[in-house]
Structure 1
Amino acid sequence: MSRPAPQKTLSASDIRARKGADPLVCLTAYTTPVAQLADAQCDVVLVGDSVGMVLHGLPSTLSVTMEMMILHGQAVARGVNRALMVVDMPFASYEDSPARAFANAARLMAETGCGAVKLEGGRHMAETIRFLVDRGIPVMAHVGLTPQAVNAIGGYRVQGRGADGARILDDARAVAEAGAFSVVLEKVPGALADRITDEIDIPTIGIGASAGCDGQILVIDDMLGLFDAFKPKFVKRYAHLADDAARAIAAYADEVRARTFPAPEHVFGEAPAAQAPGTTGETGA
């Protein structure tokens, strides 16, 4: 019986070529089992710095370290075969100079095996994006609401309304011209996201933006209903796994307290007695 041909792992160039084609499906992942599930359906699996909040209980992404991103990147890499794996560059790992950004991006790629990195920022990060791309590191950009800059922009509020839309458009143009292979548009008005999608030649990936973007991304713990510390308007709950887990844990606790778990089928019995050498185990005259 012949085996199916192995699937080709998507590259940043493959994603770039999807501009204006079938929408790109993107999700975050932080562990091997979840990465395997996402890989079966997604074009891009992002090891997001959101891991700090959804798995480590941090109040924001600002305390996420390179070591955390590498650890979770290595775990995700074990579960991804087809999708492009992208790893977020954490706060303070790339902002101060292109050279520092290159050193940290190169480390992320070398130690996780990812196919690209993602960094936040528009026009002011264009030089860094160009520096990385020129040295062989594919970059996914991120404009609009940039969570690592939440203290500077005044919270998790919509970006690009009214006259501020020109700034976001300018940011998107700048990262595209600098060589980013795609750009995340987070929490920007739909009409602005549509205009950006029409005007730049790289795929736009929306999160709280527009269905007209070239793709969409969500934090997987949000869309599965596992994380509810924040409930953004743009998140659709496709499952409510936290509720299911709470019910399962409560049922387990009830059975342990009632001594109905473990039941006989969950308990090991004594091993069969060993037979003496040379016997068949039968009796007779």
Structure 2
Amino acid sequence: MNKPSKKRALRGRAGRMRGGRGSGRASPGQVRLWGRHAVEAALKNPARQHRKLWATREGIASLDGDLPPDFPVEFADVADLGRLVARDAPHQGLVLDCFALEDIHLSDILAEEGKEGPIVVLDQVTDPHNLGAILRSSAAFDAAAIVTQDRHAPPESGVVAKSASGALETVPWVRVVNLARALEELAEAGYWRIGLTGHAEATLAEALPAGQVALVLGAEGEGMRQNIEAHCDALAKLPISAAMESLNVSNAAAVALYAIATRPSD
């Protein structure tokens, strides 16, 4: 059952966009989002600067909140909106051009008080659908942040946002140059680093400590790189059936985050 949401005014600084039609992409430095949950979350995010919204009247009516009177909206039909996004993208009558979110530093996340949720570290997870799904699970289980490399990871995009169903706007996403160094920084901050891999001996339940956890997951197919495994305090596996070799990385993340959220307090 979904939690009831409080109505808030939609926000954003208005601006004019030039070009970009028909490509499914925004101009450099901008992001094109589509779908009700992704667009609505972006409009409610005070950290997000917006440029222009294309919408059907039904799409506008579906939003939870009111747009500012001067917000730049261009009404269009479904077919026209389809030409603004990737082929067959489910835009639900809403397409938003906005600026990419500002970079977040890991040190800023670690300095925040009251951040008790796990931090999810992704080693070269390149599929934007998987990244978006992991963001969604991270929001559902109160993860403090996700950490990826600035290379070998998807950029912020409409596909990530749609798959994240609004979580792109609420879960801090830290991009780092060196993932091993980031894991060292997490250890110094008191996080127990658990790498999830099928060849581990211990199950995740056996490896979980009582304190703060950094959950490390590897790329689709290849898993974690050796150097990243070496920077983990423990390796663990999910106790899945022998009839199945492995889980998709986003499914594994969801199961692991649930296990962390429901571990015994003592």
Question: Is the radius of gyration larger for structure 1 or structure 2?
Answer: 1
TM-score, normalised with respect to structure 1: 0.24
Q: Using CA pairs below 8 Å that are at least 6 residues apart, which structure has the higher relative contact order?
A: 2
Q: What is the TM-score normalised by the length of structure 2?
A: 0.25
Q: Choose between structure 1 and 2: higher strand proportion.
A: 2
Higher helix share goes to which structure? 1
